[in-house]
Structure 1
């Protein structure tokens, strides 16, 4: 693949997954690290196309980009719209609350407003919490994660459901937020490609397979996600 590999993702600050794009550094984090490794394997440059969450899959379907590499859990709904490579990550999901909240478990979410990104694995989990009131975020937002954290801090919602990797930078002593529990969902994330571009899917998936087999993906994981267990040593993919 000599032409640039055009990848869609949010332009948001969500470490350790990715950072805001800058002219000096471009994008940094685990997903940009995966993209850089793929570009090196495919012997071509990587070009990021920064889009709101709800516009990424349509952009792939239109052919505006080659693929989505941006927090896409491999779900039945998404798989009906695009094809996915093998996973490049496996994450669980956590529930974040304001520091000092009385919420300690799912039983405390009855009647509480629980934020999650619309049409996501996080929202699917939020909808399983008996008596909770799911609140969807995402449509048209340039930074849905920041929007949810801001709503939590203001008290517009009582909890946020998202992948555990996003809560890593908050730590155990963050003054505003606390992670109260994690659900071992084992969500597999993949790179999404249009259904009418099987050759592109085969090229990206093959390159990703070589990164896993050679240990290069493990190196990227350990650089950016050192506190999370590398999943492909333990989980069949």
Structure 2
């Protein structure tokens, strides 16, 4: 009889211990961001100054800093972030498949893209430009007629020039800007086109210093937004609030100076959330 009482008491103690442990586990998870403790964010891996995977495996650039700040406001530490390479042609698909929570990858907001994904921001206003060899005679967009023009597959930049500015240019689309820059260096193409922020990052690299120049043309307005899955209004609202805070507390300006300062890039002021410059 005594044995039964001891056993029953022991069972109560064990049950209480298990309950306490379970409660403690839930509390420890609650502060790690969304419960899972990890977040997948899409960026570019090959864009100096914006999104670059470095030789040591770390990531650097303006988009990386913006995404890290936003993730922190969502409850995630830098160590909770899993960076996912999202090339231009695959950004919409990556969001639709759920491969990433959001994308900060020089993602220009357009009506066509807005039909497939939702955008927070914009968080940077860039302008389409041309990167040329230092001795190039190309001075304006129409000079590209009969010339070889390079950009990446899925980008709106090259198509914009080919359709509206220099219809007789020879458009060459490659999988990355790194390949385009190498083609420019070798003489296989006469110009590379994309946003001035991206081109400035490449021109400032040590291995390219003194070889290239920006044409200084504002061929379009590129409103960079953070892409989220269509219909995910909760995440969209949180990101917009995070971006507003980043500007107000000075972190946005610091990130601009850190990433674009060495290239002498003349950035536009921080855009207002929801304000798209056409």
Structure 2 vs 1, CA of residues 217 and 164 (structure 1 numbering), >3 Å: closer, same or farther? Answer: same
Paired position in structure 2 for 1:129: 165
What 5-or-longer segments of structure 1 have no aligned partner?
none
Alignment partner of 1:5 is 2:59 = no
Q: 1:146 aligns with which of 175, 178, 188?
A: 178
Structure 2 vs 1, CA of residues 167 and 52 (structure 1 numbering), >3 Å: closer, same or farther? Answer: closer
Structure 1 residue 95: Cα displacement = 0.9
Alignment check: 8 A CA contact 2:86 2:105 kept: no
Q: 1:31 aligns with which of 32, 50, 63?
A: 63
Structure 2 vs 1, CA of residues 208 and 4 (structure 1 numbering), >3 Å: closer, same or farther? Answer: farther
Larger Rg: 2
Computed over aligned residues only, the root mean square deviation of the Cα atoms, in angstroms, reads 2.5
Alignment partner of 1:17 is 2:50 = yes
What 5-or-longer segments of structure 2 have no aligned partner?
1-32
Q: In structure 1, what is the Cα distance between the partners aligned to 2:274 and 2:104?
A: 21
Paired position in structure 2 for 1:108: 143
Q: Deviations over 1:50-89 (max 9, x none)?
A: 2433223211111111111101000112111111001111
Alignment partner of 1:219 is 2:251 = no
Q: In structure 1, what is the Cα distance between the partners aligned to 2:153 and 2:103?
A: 17
1:197-212 equivalent positions in 2, closer than 5 A: 197-212=232-247
Alignment check: 8 A CA contact 2:123 2:273 kept: no
Alignment check: 8 A CA contact 1:116 1:126 kept: no
Q: Deviations over 1:10-33 (max 9, x none)?
A: 322x221122245x4620111111
**Between Structure 1 and Structure 2, which shows a larger proportion of helix residues?**
2
Q: In structure 1, what is the Cα distance between the partners aligned to 2:272 and 2:97?
A: 37
SS at match of 1:33: helix
Q: In structure 1, what is the Cα distance between the partners aligned to 2:147 and 2:252?
A: 39
Q: TM-score by structure 1 length?
A: 0.85
Structure 1 residue 35: Cα displacement = 1.5
Q: In structure 2, what is the Cα distance between the partners aligned to 1:65 and 1:153?
A: 34
Paired position in structure 2 for 1:69: 104
Structure 1 residue 218: Cα displacement = 2.0
Q: Deviations over 1:97-134 (max 9, x none)?
A: 22322222223222112122333231243222234425
Q: In structure 2, what is the Cα distance between the partners aligned to 1:214 and 1:30?
A: 16
1:48-197 equivalent positions in 2, closer than 5 A: 48-127=83-162, 128-138=164-174, 141=175, 144-169=176-201, 170=203, 174-183=209-218, 185-197=220-232
Q: In structure 1, what is the Cα distance between the partners aligned to 2:88 and 2:115?
A: 17
Q: Which has the higher contact order (CA 8 A, sep 6+)?
A: 1
Structure 2 vs 1, CA of residues 9 and 235 (structure 1 numbering), >3 Å: closer, same or farther? Answer: closer
Q: In structure 1, what is the Cα distance between the partners aligned to 2:222 and 2:237?
A: 22
Structure 1 residue 174: Cα displacement = 3.7
